[in-house]
Amino acid sequence: MTKLTLGSHPYLLGFEQLERMLERSAKSGNEGYPPFNIEQTSPNSYRITLAVAGFAEDDLAITVEDRQLVIRGRQSENDEARVFLHRGIAARQFQRSFVLADGVEVGEAVMENGLLHVDLRRIEPEPVVQRIRINKG
């Protein structure tokens, strides 16, 4: 029995990239830090919210790399003079990745009360009907 994958199904042509994105998404870090929410704010917009307490705007980097939204955090090391009796607030670096569909664009990013909000919007393409001419062979 042959296993059909998304990229090898006879009626789905050119979807190999989608299959690769699904594999890449499954391999991305599944750790729970930092916690995040994803909400749909309208039919064509979304908001990702990460809990980044203790991080300043300069400690965070947001990039889009090959249709993947990547959010990285790294706090500066200014703790040499501080002596902690208990350290329960996480200060470790992180990287969170989100695969973006075609037509999804990153809008603005806002820090508010220890939360990083990243807004996304889906741009709907114009429907295209194309007539293909048949050449005589």
pLDDT per position as a tens digit, 92-102: 899 999 989 88
Residue ranges of domains in the chain? 1-30, 32-122
CA nearest to 67, candidates 120, 137, 113: 120
pLDDT at 30: 54
**Which of 3.40.50.720, 1.10.15.40, 3.30.1340.10, 2.60.40.790 is the CATH number of 32-122?**
2.60.40.790
Q: Which two tokens stand for residue 36?
A: 């995040």
Q: pLDDT (tens digit, 9 = 90+) per residue, 73-85?
A: 998 776 678 888 9
- pLDDT given for residue 114 in this prediction: 93
Asked whether the beta carbons of 24 and 68 are under 8 A apart, the reply is: yes
Q: What 8-state DSSP symbol labels residue 85? A: S
Question: In the predicted model, what is the mean pLDDT of the chain?
Answer: 85
Q: What is the pTM of this model?
A: 0.73
How far is residue 126 from each of residues 14, 25, 51, 129, 133, measured CA to CA in Å? 20, 28, 37, 10, 22
